[in-house]
Amino acid sequence: MNMNFVTLKYLIFIIAFGSFSCGTTPVSIEERSQTKDSFQDGENLPNSKDIVEKKAELRPSYDLLWESYDPTADKWFAWLHNSKDGGFKKLFESDGPPREQVPISLQHPTWSKDGRYLAYYLEEKDNYLIYEYDFSTGKSKQVTVGIFPYYSPDGNHLIYCATSQKTGEQELWVYGRDGSDQRVTSLKQTCMWPSWSPNGENILFTSFDETWNIYLLNTKNWKTTPFSQGDLAREKAIWSPNGHRIAHWLLQNDDIVIQNLKGDMISTIKKTEDSTYKLGGFSLDGNEIVVTEQFGGGIFIHNCSTRKLKEICRLDGFVRNASYSPDGRWIAFQFNKTSLRKNRGRWDIYIVSSSGGNPICLTKGFENHSFSPTWRPKLKKAPSE
């Protein structure tokens, strides 16, 4: 099961980074507490426990993962912000260089539903290897070969993409904890960005055959059904948490559309003369969706019922990868205060209340770029970490 390396390299790294600005001044954790200016390798970063005791509302109740790159050490790192005490922990690291060896998928690092496991992939020896990090042991192990892993709701399987020797195309495969590893599509097309529905009955994915199309894959009989076809964006379509809605971006007019599983249109976020929007994530009830400006600093919430777009934050720069916390109270995102097109400046991780207010910088004490914030699901039973 060899990967089509050149094709994969082109497809994986069509990822745009960005930055932003809120109508209020960004505030960092370090500005609220006494912390170190620099940190040693393997050392936990600043602890914001004193801040939390004074203002508990400043701390989200969910852990937040992100990745960073250190050009001096030529390494990628995965960090976790601990919701209990506000501290930071380095989970694991991987040798660089950037955009050629990536410790976690820049678009969607994936958690098991119980928050115990984290799946990611590395580029090693002209191939992509999928690993799983177990929080109960603090160790990673390789599980299969491929890209874009995504957990089933029960956490026992991973759907992912890999090149089939039979079709010669990038198909979908399912890896199981019992050691099973099987191909589940034969579209003879390039399949990308699979994600399991919350109820486990369908897998949503994007496929390319002259145009980009979205399909649903039934997990009972492994039959594919076209969901939306033609002139779609080369980006991931997303589920609402209740599995009743799907959102995706249209390449033909830069609109974001929200549909039900029958394909009926629920709402549309239209491009304006001033802004094109990037898809973020759904709220818990699936009625709201967070989006960011393509080349600007605005963060917006779109209400699917009223079909209105509300700006909750604007920063002087560019934002990317905005997403709701699982309880809907916070929005995490990455920010760069300089020009996106010039690809300069430093990326930081911020959070802001979903009702608006001052954004909080979580990475001011870091010396390196930080990317792709991803909320960890709430643990039913915390593993020893």
Whether residue 114 contacts residue 155, with contact meaning beta carbons closer than 8 Å, is answered with yes
Alpha-carbon distance of 108 to 150, in angstroms, equals: 9
What is d(CA 35, CA 365) in angstroms, rounded to the nearest whole number? Answer: 8
Starting at the edge strand found earlier in the chain, the sheet holding 157-163 runs 147-151, 157-163, 170-176, 181-183
- Token pair, residue 277, equals 């929007």
Cis status, amide bond into 97, omega within 30 of 0: yes
Measure the CA–CA gap between 64 and 66, rounded to whole angstroms: 7
Q: With the CA atoms of 163, 165, 171 and 172 taken in that order, what torsion angle do they form, in degrees rounded to the nearest 10?
A: -90
Domains of the chain: 5-375 (2.120.10.30)
SS (H, E, C) 209-255: ECEEEEEEEECCCCCEEEEECCCECCCCCEECCCCCEEEEEECCCCC
Cα distance between residue 255 and residue 300, in whole Å = 15
Tell me the pLDDT of the chain (385 aa) as tens digits.
Answer: 554 443 444 444 333 333 333 344 444 333 333 333 333 333 343 343 333 333 445 568 889 999 887 777 777 788 888 887 788 888 877 765 444 444 444 445 789 999 999 998 877 777 888 989 999 998 889 999 999 999 999 999 999 999 877 777 899 999 999 999 999 998 888 899 999 999 999 999 998 877 888 999 999 999 999 998 766 666 789 999 999 999 998 877 788 999 999 989 999 998 887 788 888 999 999 999 999 998 888 999 999 999 999 999 998 888 988 999 999 999 999 998 875 555 567 889 999 999 998 899 998 878 788 888 999 997 655 444 4
